[in-house]
Structure 1
């Protein structure tokens, strides 16, 4: 019998989180869930994101209800449940106990690249919008409560060598790597969140991970404080990353 596993992949915005979800969804043994705490975040933050009302209508905004579901039976008789999470969807009072019932991984990206991408689509006012602090909070909670160091992936490493990184990830997860994870059909997915029409147009065109593209763009001075806050958290998480 294949190993049953629930994978919680914690990312921030403007990363390769949806592409990585595509990668796992293309496995025959996997079921994926797209940002299950989005409704909870919208209800408690008051943020006016596109499709806010529709998201709140189709998703539970109750933290305990969602977390109980995520640590429950794997849907569709699959053995792998890949859960794509946005770390900035949690708050200081969000109960993290349920995370000890799943295998947690962290997907990080250089904050300079994230900020330069984020400000093209959103109004950036504070570092919490980018999720690094929340990622580190979850990471430290798990490391301190379980005595184990969670898996950390750097998006740059994945894009530079998808096969090697995914092989390493699968080995750490105790599941078999399959080449199906390296490519997928283009287009929409029924499992995509209802917000997909606003954010997934680029990933819908892809059939695999896009090559890493280095950008030497500098940040404007007005982002320096946010960048410094994010960088310290990023550097700490990056020190634990799965090496290429």
Structure 2
């Protein structure tokens, strides 16, 4: 089984990758299109040179790796939706089980602001996430949606529902993991993963919704309708 988990940044995506990686029957890959994205866009991200040096920048070659390999081994792919540039083929999405991890944009933006300046709508991936979701549906494939807040509120119930929906046997090992860096982390983990490296399980229920101002509030206003369209399809817990 190949699972493509589509998320924007600051979405609980790394913790969910650690959850799946803690299964004995699962291999994971961390943001395989990141180097290709940076090489094609020329964007200046933290550790840009290191990221490009660490991965294949040829998107077609990356796709071949994602859909190839031993079919008897489960394969979890953590994808950032903003990395899926229009130049990257999407016909391979019929070869994987597509799941969309969403999080309220106000929470995403508040988390982002702790690390970076105010992002654009494109930076946080909501528009791209909805586009990929609609593309998967148009291909006649099932597109599952899970909410990061639901996972934090009820990790076992949420993950059991997800596993059932993709015909994957439930494994309690998904509820916790060892602290510290992981061998499958992308090289960018040194900049971004400090909090999740201190964790050994999913964080507690989130506090009240952040109150955003200025440019952050403007981006939230644009992202919210996109989030709500995806949230209408999320798995019941």
Query: Which category describes the TM-score, using the shorter chain as reference length?
Result: over 0.9
Question: Where do 1:46-65 residues align within 5 Å?
Answer: 46-65=42-61
Q: Does 1:241 align with 2:227?
A: no
2:191 aligned with 1:198: yes
Contact 2:118-2:215 at 8 Å conserved across structures: no
User: How many aligned residue pairs are there?
Assistant: 237
User: How far is the alpha carbon of 1:98 from its aligned partner?
Assistant: 1.1
C-alpha distance after superposition, 1:204-241 (max 9, x if no partner): 11111111222343110333332122111100000000
Aligned mates of 2:232, 2:224 — CA distance in 1 = 12
Q: Which runs of 5+ in 1 are unaligned?
A: none
Contact 2:34 2:83 in 1 (8 A): yes
The answer on 1:157 being equivalent to 2:150 is: yes
- The TM-score, its normalising length taken from structure 2, stands at 0.96
Q: Does 1:96 align with 2:110?
A: no
Match of 1:220 in 2: 213
| Equivalent of 1:18 in 11, 14, 18 | 14
Shift of 1:120: 2.0
- Does 2:103 correspond to 1:106? no
1:209 aligns with 2:202: yes
Match of 1:168? 161
**Structure 1 Cα separation of the partners of residues 188 and 236 of structure 2:** 33
Q: CA deviation at 1:125?
A: 4.3
TM superposition score normalised by structure 1:
0.93
Question: Which consecutive segments of 4 or more residues in structure 1 shift more than 4 A?
Answer: none
Given the superposition, is the C-alpha separation of residues 78 and 186 from structure 1 closer, same or farther in structure 2, using an over 3 Å criterion? farther
Greater Cα offset, 5-14 or 226-235: 226-235
Secondary structure in structure 2 of the residue aligned to 1:123? coil
* Correspondence 1:130 to 2:130: no
Call closer, same or farther: CA 1:78–1:149 in 2, change over 3 Å. Answer: closer
Q: CA shift at 1:176, angstroms?
A: 0.5
- 1:230 is the counterpart of 2:223: yes
**Once the 2 structures are TM-superposed, how far is the Cα of residue 165 of structure 1 from its aligned partner?**
0.6
Q: What do residues 99-146 of structure 1 show as CA deviations (whole Å, max 9, x unaligned)?
A: 111111000000011111112212234201000111111100010111
